[in-house]
């Protein structure tokens, strides 16, 4: 799950254009919403489990 979470952050900063563009938004969200409720963090956490569900379904 940790790698899926971190790879989602890679996707997020590539989508933003660069890590320099991503980082201020990410940090502003943490200040505004708190770490757990920050939208980019919530999105990354959601992808941890989405990937895990897919792995379980395709394990056979």
Condensed to tens digits (0 to 9), the pLDDT of residues 16-58 reads 999 999 999 999 999 999 999 999 999 999 988 775 655 556 6
Contact 40, 26 (CB under 8 A): yes
**What is the DSSP-derived secondary structure letter of residue 9?**
H
Nearest-5° Cα angle at 21, 29 to 40: 35
Task: Give the dihedral sign, CA 54/57/58/59.
Answer: positive
- Asked whether 17 and 56 are in contact (CB, 8 A), the reply is no
Contact between 13 and 21 under an 8 Å Cβ cutoff? The reply is yes
pTM: 0.79
């Amino acid at each position: 799950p940790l790698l899926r979470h971190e790879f989602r952050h890679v996707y997020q900063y590539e989508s933003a254009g660069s890590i320099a563009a991503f980082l201020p938004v990410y940090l502003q969200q943490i200040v505004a919403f708190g770490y757990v409720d920050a939208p980019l963090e919530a999105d990354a956490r959601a992808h941890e489990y989405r990937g895990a569900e897919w792995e379980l379904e395709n394990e056979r």
